[in-house]
Amino acid sequence: MQLTLDLKNTKSFLSDAEFAAYQPKLADAAKTLREGTGKGNAFLGWRELPENYDRDEFARIKKAAKKIQGDSKVFVVIGIGGSYLGARAAIEFLKSPQYNLLPKNTPDIFFTGNNLSPDAVREVITLIGERDFSVNVISKSGTTTEPAVVFRIFRELLEKRYGKDGAAKRIYATTDHARGALKTLADAQGYETFVVPDDIGGRYSVLTAVGLLPIAVAGCDINALMAGAHAAMTELAKPGMDNPAWAYAACRNALLEKGKRIEILACYDPAFRFMAEWWKQLYGESEGKDGTGIFPASVDLTADLHSMGQYIQDGARVLMETVVHIGRSSEKLAVPYDEGNLDGLNFLAGKDLYEIGEQAFLGTVLAHVDGGVPNMVIRIPARDEASLGELIYFFEYACGLSGYTLGVNPFDQPGVEAYKKNMFALLGKPGYEDRRAALAARL
């Protein structure tokens, strides 16, 4: 594993003893995870996934990706939450947030079914235009409202264009292995199916078919991604506070105890934006319960040093910051020399942008520490598949540890049901009549 964690810039906030005091808690949490004896233990399938994943399905994913790359100019991915964020984050990180605009020989990829905006859904239809397209619908049950209604729309579109049989060859369903609305439909219609495992929750599913199919269609190397995750899995199984996952989980919990109740995830590469969204789901949904949990936020640096930077430096002192630092890019772009030097920046002439960014990073960490914000720094070598695999597994495993250390069930999400029940009631879903009447009275 090449990922490292640097806690040097938390030392003025947390004594060695305060940090070390978490050792037994982490040993417990690691044991609970390993032995599967804790809350939510029906959802630990992600833990050994990089070792145990289904090789046959993995080969089918790569084959399907190849077919889609060959017969489709557009790939529409329908999913929400864990069935959306991981794949989008990985593709933006490995390729670009502007992936669709860039010259390439892989399909454009549009994510939909993650909102109820008619404008946004219509736009995807416009963007497909007359081009050949395929659809990946991702839903364990097949009944989650947003993806299900949007899938109805795209299925109709496909069937109109290609006929029922032709459409069936262009629909890929990632769903339950045996049960549920989508699995039943897929089997009846002959869609190729991939599996959302029973023992892996949505936010932990990016390394299953849920994430892997879109990532592979984008032309990313999913072998290297899994190899990176495997390296992290092996390394992070070792006990001790020098294990970066133990250390990260300990540090953030210790800082929470000291009133740092917001964690800001920062990165200096704009391609990381959606990885931060994925991280917010992972940590927010795992720990944000029982009236507790660190509130996860994110910034895109250096851009946001000129927006949220003021708050981080001087606002309410309730923040901790975690920086994901990416090693030197192979891309070189030097600052041109300018005879006039009106901007006074000739002292930077010939310097590569990355080098300037590096000093911005180093200077910012110290400025924030001086301002009262402890900084954790996670370093990965590059914007590549192996690094991403390590980072994903690191965050997943540390999240399990951290949740158990905090004392919550890191693998459930009971709060997500509340809005759904209200929405169903207001929409007149059969069986929700009583709730509907109660809500109507309040509106």
When asked if residue 387 is in the footprint of a second copy (CB under 8 A), the reply is no
- Find the catalytic residue in 306, 331, 339, 417: 306
For position 260 contacting a second copy by CB under 8 A, the verdict is: no
By CB under 8 A, what part of segment 285-314 binds a second copy? 285, 287-293, 295-297, 300-314
Single out the residue of 116, 198, 239, 433 in contact with a second copy (rule: CB under 8 A).
Answer: 116
Per-residue binding letters, 161-190, with a second copy (x by CB under 8 A): --------------------xx-xx--x--
At 293, list the tokens: 């949990």
CA angle at 145 for the pair 144 and 149, rounded to the nearest 5°: 120
3-state secondary structure of 198: coil
Instruction: Report residue 271: phi and psi, to 5°.
Output: -70, -10
Assess whether 306 carries a catalytic annotation.
yes
Counting every residue, how long is the chain? 443
Bridge pairing between strands 375-380 and 4-6: antiparallel
Q: Which stretch, 15-23, 47-55, 245-253, 425-433, contacts a second copy (CB under 8 A)? A: 425-433
Return the structure tokens found at 426.
Answer: 């207001």
Q: How far is the CB of 219 from a second copy (least distance, A)?
A: 16
Cα 406 to Cα 13, 24, 239: the distances in Å are 19, 13, 19
Residue closest to 412 by CA, chosen among 421, 401, 403, 402: 403
d(CA 368, CA 408): 30
329 binds a second copy (CB under 8 A): yes
Window contacting a second copy (CB under 8 A); options: 19-27, 60-68, 247-255, 361-369: 361-369
Q: Is residue 342 a contact point for a second copy (CB under 8 A)?
A: yes
230 is a catalytic site residue: no
Q: Tokens 């990985």 belong to which residue?
A: 90
Among 4, 15, 143, 234, the residue binding a second copy under the rule CB under 8 A is 143
Q: Which string of DSSP letters, residue by residue, matches 302-334?
A: TGGGGTTHHHHHHS-S-EEEEEEEEPPPS---B
| Least CB distance to a second copy at residue 181 (A) | 4
Q: Does 214 bind a second copy (CB under 8 A)?
A: no
Among 121, 195, 265, 391, which residue sits at the site for a second copy (rule: CB under 8 A)? Answer: 121
Closer Cβ to a second copy, 70 or 291, answer by number? 291
**6-65: contacts with a second copy (CB under 8 A):** none
Instruction: Out of 92, 146, 192, 285, pick the active-site residue.
Output: 285
Name which of 169 and 432 has its Cβ closer to a second copy. Answer: 432
Residue 73 one-letter amino acid: K
Under the criterion CB under 8 A, does residue 370 sit at the interface with a second copy?
yes
Closest CA to 6 of 374, 268, 368, 261: 374
Q: How far is CA 176 from CA 41, 168, 405, in A?
A: 19, 18, 31
Q: How many of the chain's residues bind a second copy (CB under 8 A)?
A: 133
- Residue 20 or residue 316: which is nearer to a second copy going by CB? 316
- Write the CA distances from 260 to 213, 256, 311, 394, 397, integer angstroms: 38, 5, 14, 22, 22
Of the pair 172, 279, the CB lying nearest a second copy is at: 279
Rg (CA), the chain: 23
**280 part of the interface to a second copy, by CB under 8 A:** yes
- 382 contacts a second copy (rule: CB under 8 A): no
- Residues recognised as catalytic: 285, 306, 420
